[in-house]
Structure formats: C-alpha cells, structure tokens
Amino acid sequence: MDPRYKKISDLLIDYSMGHFENRIELSEKLDETDAFISGINMLGEELKTTTISRNYFNNIFNSVSDMIFVLTDGGMIENVNRTALEKLDKKYSDLIGLPIDQLLVEGEKPLFEFIKKKLGNSNQGVEAEKKFKTSPTDYIPASCSVNFLHREVKGELRYLVTVRDLSKQKEMENLVIRTIVDTLENERIRVAKDLHDSLGQQLSAVKFYLETLINITEDKKISPILTKSGDALKAAQAELREICFDLMPMTLETYGLVESVHELCRKIGHKNLLEFIILPDKHFPLLNKQLEIAIFRIVQEFINNSIKHGRATRITLKFNFGRDKDEVKIELKDDGKGFDKNKLYSGSGTGMGLQNVRSRIRSYDGTIKINSLPGKGTEYGILIPLNKTTLQR
Ligand SMILES: Nc1ncnc2c1ncn2[C@@H]1O[C@H](COP(=O)(O)OP(=O)(O)OP(=O)(O)O)[C@@H](O)[C@H]1O
Ligand SMILES: [Mg+2]
C-alpha cells in the first residue's frame, strides 16, 4: 500500500483532535494522491482559520461584562454567555431551551412579547428595563437591548439580547435620592424642634403672665382686653402647633407611623364631610425612622389627592404585610371621583406629587400600584421590602 495513505489517515486523526497546524509534504510524483493530499492540506488551513475566528468570537462572547442571550423565534434561549451563568447562578444546561421570560421576577411584564411587538420589521433595536431573578428572593435590575441576529437567513430568525446589570447604578441613584430627602427631612425636624422649644416656650411664658394679670386685675376697661389677648395668644399657640406638625409630627418620633397617621386623620377629618377608617395589622413593625417619615409623606400625598382631586368622603387606610411577610404593604382606598390613569403624566398641568412618591418608594426598592377609574374611586398600594435598612435598629 502507498505509505502516503497511512500519513493521510494520521493527519485526519490529528484534525479530528483539533491539531490543524499539521500538513503532509507532496511527493515528487505529483499524481492523483498528491492532488488529494493538497486538498487535505488546504482543508487544514481552512479549519485553522475558522477555529481561530471561532475561538476569538467565543472569547469575546464570554468575556464581556454584560449578559448575552441568543433567542430563537419562539423566545427560547439558544445560547448564553458565561457572564449570564455567573450572574444568574445557573448552569449552561439549565438555561438552554428555557423561555427567557422564565428568568424574570414574577409580576414583570413578559420581555419576549414586548420584543416581538416593538422590533417588528424594523432594524432598530429595542430597549427595556427588567428584573432578572437570581434566587427566589433576589433579583438584578437590568437594561436589555435587543436586536435581530441572522436576519438575512430565511427561517432562521434569532434575537440577540444584551442585558446590563444596573444594581450598582440603582444603588447609587437610591442612595443619592435618600440622602437628599433625608437631609431635607432632618432640616424640617430641626426647624420644628427649634420653633417648639424657643417660640413655643416664650409663648407659654407670655400666657402665664397674661393669666396672672387677668386674675389680679380689677379694672373693668383692661380686663376684656386682657381676655382678648389671651384668646389671640391661644390661637397663636395652636397655629404654632400646626406649623410644627406640618414640618414634622412629633408623634412619629415617639409613637411611630400608624399613630402619627391617626393624628393626621384626626386633624383633617370632619364628622360629616370626611371619614377616615384606619386598619393597622397588630403586628405592623416599627420601621427605620427615615422610612417612617417617607411613608408618612406618601400617605399625606395620597390623602391630599383624595380630598383635592377626588372630593372623597370616605378614606380607608390599611397597614399590613405583603404576601410573604417580607414586605410591608400600605393601602389607601377612597370613594372619590377617580381618574383615568392613562392621562397621568401625559398632560402639561400634572403635578409633582405622585412622581415624588415614586422616587421615594423606588429609593427603598419598593413598588407602587394605582388603580382608578372615573366615577369608581381610587386605590393606592405600596410595598416596601423589609430588610436591615428598612427595619428599626
Ligand atoms: N385620589 C385621586 N382622585 C382623583 N384624581 C386623582 C387622585 N390622585 C391623583 N389624581 C389625579 O392624578 C393627577 C396627578 O396627581 P399628583 O399628585 O401627581 O399631582 P397634583 O396633585 O395635581 O399636584 P401636586 O401633588 O404636585 O400638588 C392629579 O392632578 C389628578 O388628576
Ligand atoms: Mg398631589
């Protein structure tokens, strides 16, 4: 047998093992077998180049810091890079064939449906923010950019989804919002305490002097003037108490959120015109002071809206827990006029109230739901996760 056949056989084994650099020298015969060998050498060259570019691609695919998913036309994961496996704490085999929507936290709107709808036939990518589950209780907030892959090959439509982890960025944003809001609230506490301690004390002293004068004076002309001064002083004291309460309810510091909401409702409520029903769970926890202030402000905004826009006559407030008891849930329901939620933020005249509420809630990783229909009243619900930063230390 021609010894070159043995060489060809060995070379093919080498290639099958990934050694594409080996070649066979042509003989002097330059016959048909040499032509065959030359073809195999070229194959080796070809394999070497494609393997280098494949490895090069794989290196890039796996070393980018974003998660990358390749989806089939049905939204199933066909390929995924190493970063995704690491961030989601999953094995490659766990993810292949899985619908991408199964990676999102419960309650998130499906991503794939959105991609299909938005991407349509255009070549411009789509962007969406989604939460990806990392464990039953944890998730990564992420921004997803999606585009077509292999568009030109008919019947082989694929989607390339690049997912950027926004945890650090969100943490930073939340910290900035919390710091600004907390600074503002601390300043309000300081002003309220100063007013209460300085002006409040002085008014009390004046009241004492006036009362002494009223008791000892026998002059019929002066006596009614002194009584009037006493009444004016009482009104001034009541006004000061209101201002201090508006700045910062002292009950919040001493008795906590639920009690200060009771106090707020007592102040606003009116026997016949506006009724408040407050239903606190008896295990409702004491929260971190800054968070209690934040929730108090949110409740205040909800109540103001119910009165100002809804003209409500009955407002029900519930202080409760979420489904798994690992979050607090505060709900407000009014019997007012209600409104069309779709018009929220679309007009130029809309206020800042609910936007401020949203950023306060977001800074604690919470969520808000608003249900309203014209003529059917309004329901607000907020959920704030309980953890070491939100519970009172
Ligand atoms: N409970 C409610 N009943 C009826 N309409 C409401 C209610 N809550 C909100 N709205 C509607 O939503 C809009 C936006 O509310 P938002 O609190 O953001 O702004 P605002 O109350 O108009 O202004 P601001 O809060 O800055 O004083 C309101 O203008 C109102 O039309
Ligand atoms: Mg408002």
Q: Whose Cα sits closest to atom 7 in ligand 1?
A: 305
* Ion ligand 2: residues, CB < 5 A: 305, 351, 353
Q: Would you say residue 143 has pLDDT above 90? A: yes
- The CB density around residue 372, as the number of other CB atoms within 10 Å, is 20
Q: Which two tokens stand for residue 149?
A: 């892959």
Q: Which residues contact ligand 1 via a Cβ below 6 A?
A: 305-306, 309-310, 334, 336-339, 344, 350-354, 378
176 Cβ contact partners less than 8 Å away, ≥ 6 residues apart: none
Q: What is the pLDDT of residue 270?
A: 76
pLDDT tens sequence across 21-80: 899 999 988 899 999 999 999 999 999 988 888 888 889 999 999 999 999 989 999 999
Q: What is the pLDDT of residue 212?
A: 93
Q: Whose Cα sits closest to atom 1 in ligand 1?
A: 306
**Topology annotation, domain 64-165:** Beta-Lactamase (3.30.450)
Ligand number with the minimum distance to the CA of 310: 1
Q: Which of 161, 186, 152 is nearest to 80 (CA)?
A: 161
Q: What is the pLDDT of residue 55?
A: 86
- Candidate of 303, 306, 309, 376 to mutate for ligand 1, largest count of ligand atoms within 8 Å of Cβ: 309
- CA 298 distance to own-chain centroid: 17
Q: What is the pLDDT of residue 259?
A: 94
Q: What is the pLDDT of residue 154?
A: 63
Ligand number with the minimum distance to the CA of 356: 1
Q: Which two tokens stand for residue 125?
A: 């990518």
Residue 332 backbone dihedrals phi, psi, to 5 degrees: -130, 135
Q: Ligand 1 centre and the CA of 322: distance in Å?
A: 25
What average pLDDT does the structure give for the chain? 90
151 — pLDDT class (breaks 50, 70, 90): low
Q: What is the pLDDT of residue 393?
A: 58
Q: What is the pLDDT of residue 342?
A: 76
Query: Quick one: 254-393 is in which CATH superfamily?
Result: Histidine kinase-like ATPase, C-terminal domain (3.30.565.10)
Q: Ligand 1 centre and the CA of 182: distance in Å?
A: 24
Q: Would you say residue 365 has pLDDT above 90? A: no
Give residue limits of the domains in the chain. 3-62, 64-165, 169-248, 254-393
Q: Which two tokens stand for residue 123?
A: 């070549």
- What are the residues facing 367 on neighbouring strands? 383
What count of residues does the chain have? 393
Q: Would you say residue 345 has pLDDT above 80? A: no
Q: Ligand 2 centre and the CA of 375: distance in Å?
A: 18
**C-alpha span between 340 and 35 (Å, rounded):** 79
In ligand 1, which atom is closest to the CA atom of 354?
Answer: 18
> What's the rounded mean pLDDT across residues 224-239?
94
Ligand number with the minimum distance to the CA of 372: 1
